Amino acid sequence: MAEANVFVNNPGLAEATREQDLIARVQRGQNELFYELVRPYERRVYAAALAILRNESDAEDVAQEAMLKALANIRQFRAEARFSTWLIQITVNEALMRRRRERTAIMEGIDDRRDEEGEYAPRDFADWREIPSEALERKEVRQRLAEALATLDRKYREVFVLRDMEQLNIQETAEALGISVASVKTRLLRARLMLRDLLAAGWEQGWFSRLPFEKGTKPW
């Protein structure tokens, strides 16, 4: 009986319906509801802007601009797309435009010298072990991971953030960045392998030293 209630209440469906209702009301002019509509996604919007601009102040400004643009264009939103994906795509567009406008050359990264079509060979083959998610409770671990991500060349970082952190699918990532699906896959592979090597190096440096790994093993 209790199990039946799960289906009857169907919270996921209820939430989706609530979002659709909010969208419809904002589309009819109830702009005061817009913040309530976008609040669940504000972190993701900010992260998408930061991945492209790499400057917290610019990222916040662009995130706000993107939200304003989304509100101004809310009537163009069609229900066949996910609202969160639509918001992220607007944000990515805004951030890319800002970067072009300011002609910011972000030249950094461990992979700048490698050609995208070339091979990337992993460097570390230590014995592996799952890093427990509790590791992320520690701010220094999150910071180290963020720093590792920041060292990637932007073309890899952008794809990685949109696919693996923002959870866009491959096609959506390609559309948001205006690149081919094949390029997304190539860049994603490199980003993941490079981060793996960077984090393996972090293990050597003791980033995760207070975590309960077995003696003699690495996270991988």
Partner 1 sequence: MVNEAISCERVWREISNYLEGDVEPGLRAALDEHFKTCKKCVSVLEGTRNVIRLYSDERMIEVPAGFGRRLERRLAQSGKGPSVVWSTRAAWLVPAAALLLIGGGIRVANSLSVPRPILSEHANPGKNIPPDMLVVVSADAKDFHVPGCPFIHNKDKERTLTAKEAMREGYVPCVRCMRKYLETADAGHISLEQEAQSDFDADDEAPSGAR
- Per CB under 8 A, contacts with partner 1 among 152-211 are 160, 164-165, 167, 170, 185, 188-189, 192-193, 195-196, 199-200
- The answer to whether 176 and 168 have CB atoms below 8 angstroms apart is yes
CB of 126 to partner 1, least distance (A): 6
Least distance in Å: CB of 96 to partner 1?
Answer: 20
Q: How many residues bind partner 1 (CB under 8 A)?
A: 75
Q: Which of 11, 78, 100, 107 binds partner 1 (CB under 8 A)?
A: 11
In the complex, minimum distance from the CB of residue 9 to partner 1, in angstroms, rounded to a whole number: 5
Q: How far apart are CA 170 and CA 172, in angstroms?
A: 6
Q: Which residues of 68-104 are buried (b: 16+ CB within 10 A; e: fewer)?
A: eebeeebeebeeeeebbbbbbbbbbbbbbebbeeeee
**Taking the mean position of all CA atoms in its chain, how far away is CA 212?**
28
- For the bound state, the minimum distance from the C-beta of residue 64 to partner 1, rounded and expressed in Å, comes to 5
Distance in Å, CB of 2 to partner 1, minimum: 6
Kind and range of the H or E run holding 24: helix 11-27
Tokens standing for 17? 């319906």
Residues of span 43-102 touching partner 1 by CB under 8 A: 43-44, 46-47, 56, 60, 63-64, 67-68, 71-72, 82, 84
64: how many CB neighbours lie within 10 A of its CB?
Answer: 15
Among 22, 25, 42, 55, binds partner 1 (CB under 8 A): 42
